[in-house]
Structure 1
Amino acid sequence: MQRLLRVAGQTVATAESLTGGRLAALFTDVPGASDVYVGGVVTYATELKASLLGVSARIIAEHGVVSSECAQAMAAGVRALTGATYGVSTTGVAGPSEQEGKPPGTVFVGIAGPDLVVGLALELRGKRAQIQDRTCREALATFEQVLRREETPLG
């Protein structure tokens, strides 16, 4: 994934809620990460999703923060905040209790890029840490798929 970004001269930033910085740690866990990873924010509180990432009051009121709409807005917001080519976000319920009437394991990933904003819904099982880790793996895998689709063949 980092090779794809590096070759294309692109960058990525993260906006996290339920993963609490784990996604950023995975992006920075490899040598050369600073070539493509510009940074990220952990917006655990709803107020920060709005004030830092620009998630609208309408999205929060109509869909809640545990929604595809919020994940997409978070991804677009971190992209705008950092100037990165792509934004990747995570929001949802890690557990042990429900949030917004949604059970643990209800997770959404958002990806925003130059010509796309997409959301991925996940229904995960397991304990809190397992849900957080699986969310990160799914976010990375989905982001890599997006990059591969956007990759332009050479020659």
Structure 2
Amino acid sequence: MANSRQLAADLGKALQARGESVATAESCTGGMIAAAITDVAGSSGWFSHGVVSYGNQAKQQLLGVQATSLMDHGAVSERVVREMAAGAQGLAGADWAVAVSGIAGPDGGSPEKPVGLVWLAIAHPGGQTEAWSRQFGGNRQSVREQTVAEALTRLIERVLGHAAQV
């Protein structure tokens, strides 16, 4: 997780320079993104909320994910991570939010949604939310660590890119 800690520190610098904040909504990573962020001294200045919504009930109750989204698309889907990110952003009153939901394994996969499939989303300032999926290899821990690195890397890119557009 050393790389994730450095990524979190880089994210903090980018957010602090803009006076912005971030929130997290995590399923398959179980709080690993928030842990990397809170390993950074001073992160309370740009991070206040991290939600671990491992189960569907938590996704609904804490983040406002719609039951129909879960039933129609499943927890590991574009629709659900978009709703998770928007829910975390609203809950925290944050400028940015990142959400992840995936199948870390070793069980739980299917032909349509294999082990290692992760959906990620970033809610941007102003209401735009983007989502993408990745297929990671390796064991459960490796899938989770790759997810954290992917989420933080993309978030840094977006925060820096948004600053260039403003």
Question: Considering the TM-score relative to the shorter chain, is it more than 0.5?
Answer: yes
Alignment partner, residue 69 of structure 1:
79
Q: Distance in 2 between matches of 1:41 and 1:91?
A: 12
Name the structure with the higher helix share.
2
Alignment partner, residue 8 of structure 1:
18
In structure 1, the gaps of 5 or more residues are none
Could you give the per-residue CA deviations for residues 72-107 of structure 1, whole angstroms, max 9, x where no partner exists? Answer: 110100111111111111101000112465221000
From 54, 60, 78, the equivalent of 2:70 is 60
Task: Report the 3-state secondary structure (helix = DSSP H, G, I; strand = E; otherwise coil) of the residue aligned with 1:104.
Answer: coil
Matched, 1:23 2:48: no
Matched, 1:104 2:115: yes
Alignment partner, residue 124 of structure 1:
136
Alignment partner, residue 43 of structure 1:
53
RMSD: 1.5
| Preserved contact between residue 97 and residue 103 of structure 1 (Cα < 8 Å) | no
| Preserved contact between residue 78 and residue 87 of structure 1 (Cα < 8 Å) | yes
Q: Distance in 2 between matches of 1:53 and 1:13?
A: 12
Tell me which amino acid in the other structure corresponds to 1:147: V
In structure 2, the gaps of 5 or more residues are 1-10
Q: TM-score, normalised by structure 2?
A: 0.88
Measured after TM superposition, the shift of residue 135 of structure 1 is 0.2
Task: Report the 3-state secondary structure (helix = DSSP H, G, I; strand = E; otherwise coil) of the residue aligned with 2:99.
Answer: strand
Q: Distance in 2 between matches of 1:153 and 1:59?
A: 33
Matched, 1:134 2:150: no
Q: Distance in 1 between matches of 2:71 and 2:58?
A: 15
Q: Distance in 2 between matches of 1:119 and 1:153?
A: 20
Alignment partner, residue 7 of structure 2:
none
Task: Report the 3-state secondary structure (helix = DSSP H, G, I; strand = E; otherwise coil) of the residue aligned with 1:152.
Answer: helix
Alignment partner, residue 114 of structure 1:
125
How many equivalent pairs are there?
154
Tell me which amino acid in the other structure corresponds to 2:164: T
Task: Report the 3-state secondary structure (helix = DSSP H, G, I; strand = E; otherwise coil) of the residue aligned with 2:164.
Answer: coil
Q: Distance in 2 between matches of 1:139 and 1:33?
A: 17
